[in-house]
Amino acid sequence: MQAPVLETPRLRLRPLGPDCEAMYLAFFTDADASHFYGGPLPPKGAWSRLAADIGTWSLRGFGVWAIERREDGQLLGTCGFWQAADWPRELTWWLLPAARGAGVAQEASEAVLRQAYGPWGWTEVETYMPDDNLAARRLALRLGGAVVRRQHFPDGVARDVLKLPCPPTPA
């Protein structure tokens, strides 16, 4: 399945492609930026992560989008859905450090939640993060997330799982 293009007032969420390689390299080789996402990774690991994220669309019928600023085409990060073989599906996002703090992750997350609950007809979207990822937890709560359970994950770590509602359509 090819990712549909989603647009918000400031952002375009579009399929990942070869032009995302530099963004993945910058993010995943940066220890501070990628700490909560399995990083830092060597350059080959960043490329493998991009390839896996592209392939998720074919394997699962969903995945993450590249977040692009509409005004200049600048790539800012990713947002969408992820599910490894033995993990539950989740809403996920990451941003390059320069894109943080401007509401990009929230705007992108709201767009993908509307896609999931609307055209895709999903009845539930959840997210989870390590307890010390306070920025992700704050965003999940701003999105209307509510803790529905504490779950042990395949990596042996227990995490809160938050259910996210469908955000209203912007006026």
- Which residues are CB-contacts of 20 (< 8 A; sequence separation ≥ 6)? 50, 66, 75
pLDDT tens track for 8-50 = 999 999 999 999 999 999 999 999 999 999 999 999 999 999 9
Rounded Cα gap, residues 17 and 40, in angstroms: 21
pLDDT tens track for 67-112 = 999 999 999 999 999 999 899 999 999 999 999 999 999 999 999 9
Neighbours of 151 (CB within 10 A): 13
Q: Tokens 């005004």 correspond to what residue?
A: 71
Residue 134: both structure tokens together: 């306070």
Domains of the chain with CATH codes: 6-123 (3.40.630.30)
